[in-house]
Amino acid sequence: MSLLLDEIARATARLAEAGVPSPRADAEEIAAFVHGVSRGRLHTVKDEDFDARFWEGIARREAREPLQHITGRAYFRYLSLEVGPGVFVPRPETEVMTGWAIDRLREMDVASPIVVDLGTGSGAIALSIAQEVALAQVHAVEIDPVAYSWAKKNVLEHGQGRVFLHPEDLADCLPELNGQVDLVISNPPYIPPGEVPRDPEVRDYDPSRALYGSGEDGLGEIRAVERTARRLLRPGGYVAVEHAECQANAVYWLFAEEKGWRDVRTRQDLTGRDRFVTARLSQD
């Protein structure tokens, strides 16, 4: 066994003892990042090229710093995004909602659909839609200046000329698009203020502004998304918004028929948990 592979085995044991959910994969990702190779090429690193910074990265992960902060990258659908302190690390469950939106946009008889991503964070949702839906015009809204700066980096790398960033509040943004948007999507803050996430990677490193929703139930921002979507969407346009599993029923009823919503559905993530609500604005 090469020196690096032996060190990865030792690091895996340390990460497992620290409670890291995927210790082997994380140890390999850190090794690949430090040595500038893919995980599949780790065996090619010569013993004399072993970089001791590997153990610096392992110590950070052992302390439950997110892997994405150590490598500076998060993977979302087909994208590799720059992330770090001050921006929410995109999660696999949000990929399901994004995939649903992409499917709806592809089904539309619209040459160049207009999409709005409310609270874009790193830009993961907006950039995935721009990459996977030909000719989509994607507007990404982010009021937080630190998150906005991360989104700007990612737009410059992946979506220049296809994703348009707006440093605005999701509650009153983009009045110039009222009644013209084909799809509104959002992964807003929604954790109730009194509920602290168990995972240290989330609790200690994700920005609280991206986690905790306003109001006792944490649904203040989702209520704002509903109002903004109702204002922005054209008749027949779609909305999709992420929420916590325990909020599924409450969010479902926010998109009430008397407000003009139709086809309201609660949908599940990769683990089968209720994760996002979709609805369509009435064409009447």
Q: Give which of 67, 65, 69, 76 is closest to 39, Cα–Cα.
A: 67
Q: Is 76 a catalytic residue?
A: no
Q: Give which of 119, 133, 277, 136 is closest to 209, Cα–Cα.
A: 119
β-bridge pairing 233-242 and 181-186: parallel
Q: Is 88 a catalytic residue?
A: yes
196 in Cβ contact with 203 (< 8 Å):
yes
Read off the tokens for 122.
């790193």
**Element containing residue 231 per DSSP (H, E):** helix 220-232
281 in Cβ contact with 260 (< 8 Å):
yes
Categorise residue 212: left if φ over 0, alpha if ψ from -120 to 50, beta otherwise.
Answer: beta
Choosing from 76, 88, 255, 276, which is the catalytic residue?
Answer: 88
Please indicate if the annotation marks 228 as binding a ligand. no
Cα 284 to Cα 276: distance, rounded to the nearest angstrom: 25
225 in Cβ contact with 239 (< 8 Å):
yes
Please indicate if the annotation marks 66 as binding a ligand. no
* 271 backbone dihedrals φ, ψ, rounded to 5°: -95, 5
246 in Cβ contact with 194 (< 8 Å):
no
Cα 120 to Cα 139: distance, rounded to the nearest angstrom: 9
Please indicate if the annotation marks 38 as binding a ligand. no
Please indicate if the annotation marks 113 as binding a ligand. no
Sheet of strand 233-242, all strands in order from the earlier edge strand to the far edge = 163-166, 137-141, 114-118, 181-186, 233-242, 274-281, 261-268
Q: Is 188 a catalytic residue?
A: yes
Please indicate if the annotation marks 266 as binding a ligand. no
Place of tokens 């029923």: 249
Please indicate if the annotation marks 142 as binding a ligand. yes
Please indicate if the annotation marks 121 as binding a ligand. yes
Please indicate if the annotation marks 167 as binding a ligand. no
Choosing from 66, 188, 255, 276, which is the catalytic residue?
Answer: 188
Choosing from 54, 187, 255, 276, which is the catalytic residue?
Answer: 187
Which residue ranges are tagged as binding site for substrate? 187-190
Which residue ranges are tagged as binding site for S-adenosyl-L-methionine? 119-123, 142, 187
- Show which residues are catalytic: 88, 187-188
Which residue ranges are tagged as binding site? 119-123, 142, 187-190
